[in-house]
Amino acid sequence: MPLTIVTEGPEATTQVGEALGALARPGDVLLLQGPLGTGKTCLTQGLARGLGVTVPVTSPTFILVNQYAGRLTLYHVDLYRIEAVAEAMDLGLDDYFFGEGVCAVEWPERAPAAMPPEHLLVTLEHAGEQERRLTLQAAGSRYHDLARDLRGSLATKDGIRVLANTPPHPSQRARS
């Protein structure tokens, strides 16, 4: 079952990313898809903050991959400008996907065959002028655990709502 989160603005979207970064483990792969302006880079900036990255994080649109040092290395991949799956394969993405860092891929739909089978897909949509709807789909047990833990960590954050259609974190079930 997907986890659906609504954020009230860019800072709240960044907070979701920060919570993901705090929960991240080596080898985690986050696929970020959604139209331009929905907050993919904003989410990645939060992810970086949660990983302890201290330098500014920008979209790697023209270089395709940026690398940032933190608690774990963040590989920020942007496939917006690629025109064929072969171009993505030429980037050596497996080195990033199966390494010791965390990989965030914007525009994974541009090269679906190059994406790893296990990942967390985050689809971002406009839900209002500033609001964003993030739908997280886990592929693999690690990512089901990550989504569950994320839900628990967001329970008390201002400007963030976890929608009722998502299963509660075990600590929240005990309180119900």
Per the structure, how many domains does the chain have?
1
Range of the domain at 25: 3-175
Contact between residue 53 and residue 70 where contact means Cβ atoms under 8 Å apart: yes
32-44 per-position pLDDT tens digit: 999 998 999 999 9
Band (pLDDT 50/70/90 cuts) for residue 171 is: very low
The domain that holds 81 is classified in CATH as 3.40.50.300
CA–CA distance, 96 with 104 (Å, rounded to integer) = 10
**Residue 92 pLDDT:** 83
Q: What percent of the chain has pLDDT over 70?
A: 90
SS (H, E, C) 109-131: HHCHHHCCCCEEEEEEEECCCCC
pLDDT average, residue stretch 49-69:
87
Q: How deeply is 175 buried, as exposed, middle or buried, from its count of CB atoms within 10 A (0-12, 13-18, 19+)?
A: exposed
Q: Which of 68-72, 100-104, 151-155 comes out lowest in average pLDDT?
A: 151-155
